[in-house]
Amino acid sequence: MNSVSPSAAQYIGGVMQEELVESRRQQPMERQSSFGLRPPQTQDLSKEAPGEPDEMDKLKAKLMSAWNNVKYGWTVKSKTSFNKISPVTVLGHSYLLNSEDEVERFRLAFVSRIWLTYRREFPQLEGSTWTTDCGWGCMLRSGQMLLAQGLLVHLMPRDWTWPDAQQLTDVDFEVFRPRSPVRAGGVPIPSFGSPRGPNTPEKSLPNDQGPKCSQKKRSECVRDRQAEPIHYKLVTWFGDQPPAPFGVHQLVDIGKSSGKKAGDWYGPSIVAHILRKAVAKTSMVHNLAVYVAQDCTVYKEDVVRLCDVSLNKTPPDPSSQAWKSVIILVPVRLGGEALNPSYIECVKNILKLECCIGIIGGKPKHSLFFIGFQDEQLLYLDPHYCQAVVDVTQVNFSLESFHCSSPKKMPFNRMDPSCTIGFYAKNKKDFESLCSAVSVALSSSKEKYPIFTFVEGQGQDYGLEGHSSNHSGPAAHILPPGQRSRSNDRRNSDEFVFL
C-alpha cells in the first residue's frame, strides 16, 4: 500500500475504516505514470460532465477519493532536528534556538501560519464528480497558504501570533559538531519546546495568562486575543464551500479560464494568476490588490497604476484610500531540470526579508509552501495530508486543523526550480522599500542574471500588450531591451507540475 512520502509524514491522522477497505480492493488499478503512481481512471474522472454525473461516475469518484484518502491520510511520525547554534529564519524573523524564550518565539511564529491541506467530503465541485482534492490540488493549497500569509500581514496586528497555538511536536533540538553534516555527529538534548509533559493537563489560568502569554508582553497578548474574530473570518474565506472567495471551489472555477479543471495539476505560475483573479473578484477584502510579474520582471509603473487609487478615479475621491496595499507574486525558474546552486544564497536572503510572504513550489512531484530555512535546509508547510472538511459556517468552529505544529525541513538541493515568490507592501513607502531591499537580496546571486528584476515604466513600454494586473493568460515571456537573450534559457513555469 502506498503511504504518504517521508517528507509529508509528520502529521498524525487516519482515514475511515471503510475507506481503507475499499482502497485496498482498488490497489490493482495502480499504474506508474510520469508524475508517480496514479490510477488510469484519473483522466476520465477529471473530465467535465455535460449534466448530472451518473451513478457509475459517482462510484468511480468515490473509489478514487477512497484511494487518495488512504494514500495521503496514513502517516508515519518522524522527528525534525534543529541545530541550536544556527539561527532559524521564518519570513523575515530569526530565532536562535538555544533558550526556552527563543523556542517559544519560534513556536508561536511557526504554528501561527495558516496551514491548508487536502480535504475530503466537501460539496461536489461544479461540472465534476470530485468531492476531494486529494492527489491533484496540492499546488492550489500551497497557493492558498501564500495568499493567507499575505492576508494575515494585511489584516492582523504587526507580528500577530495565535494565542491558542499548539505546542511543537516531533521536534529535536541538537548541538551539532562543527562542520558535521550528518545527524549522527550531533549530541541530542531533551526538547524544551513544551513547558509541560505530554500527559499533564493544561491548567486553567485566569485572564489568559498561561504559557502562551508568558513569553510575550501582556499588552500584545490582549491585542492578539482581540484579533481572533478577524482570524476566524480569514479562515472562513478559505473554507471548502462554493461561496468561500478563496476556497478550492472558487479557485477551480477561476482556473477554467486558463484551461484547467478539477482533477488537473496546476503550476505555480497559473496559481499566481488564479489568486490575482480571486482577490480582484471578491468584495470581502478591501484595499488590497495582487500584481503578478511577467517574465521575471516587476514593472514599477504597472504596480503604481494598480495601487494608486487617485489615478483610477475621475474626479478623484478624497475620502478613499490613496494607495492600495499590494501582494506581488513573481513566477520564476531557478535553473534547468534542477535547482541551480548559485541561487541558494539569493533565496535565503529573500526569505530573510520581512516583506516576503513565502514561496510556493516544492520538490519534484510534491508541492510545498516554503516559509524559512536553517543552514542548508528549507522550512515548509506541506498540504499533502488529507483531513475531513470543516464547516466554517458554524460559530466557533475548531481552528486546530488550520495550523500545523510539526515543522519540517528539506535540503535546498531537492527544491524544484519552478516556483512563485510572494511579497507584500502595505503602502507606497513600503513598496519603495521593498524594491530596494529585494534588489539587494537579488544581487547576492553568483549568477550573471538575477532571479528577477525591477524596472521603471510599464510592461507596454517593453513590448508587452498590457500589464499583469489585467492579464488573463499565462505570463508573457518578453524581456526588456538588452535582456532578451535570457528568454531562450527559461521555460514557462506552467510546464512543470507537482503531484
Which residues, 6+ apart, have CB-to-CB distance to 410 below 8 Å?
7, 363, 368, 377, 378, 380
Residue 66 CB coordination number (10 Å): 25
Q: Name the active-site residue from 134, 138, 213, 221.
A: 138
C-alpha cell at 451: 532571479
CA of 122: how far to CAs of 96, 119, 386, in Å? 41, 7, 12
Q: Name the active-site residue from 154, 366, 384, 403.
A: 384
Q: Name the active-site residue from 240, 295, 382, 416.
A: 382
> Nearest-CA neighbor of 352 among 371, 376, 333, 369?
371
**Backbone phi, psi, residue 273, to 5°:** -70, -35
Is 384 in the active site?
yes
User: How far from the centroid of its chain's Cα atoms is residue 389's Cα?
Assistant: 19
User: How far from the centroid of its chain's Cα atoms is residue 424's Cα?
Assistant: 14
Which residues, 6+ apart, have CB-to-CB distance to 123 below 8 Å?
131, 240, 241, 242, 249
Is 296 in the active site?
no
Residue 118 CB coordination number (10 Å): 24
Residue 11 CB coordination number (10 Å): 25
Interatomic CA distance for residues 194 and 221, integer angstroms: 19
55 — alpha (psi -120 to 50), left (phi > 0) or beta? alpha
- Cβ 487 vs Cβ 333: under 8 Å: no
Is 224 in the active site?
no
Give the catalytic positions in this structure. Answer: 138, 382, 384
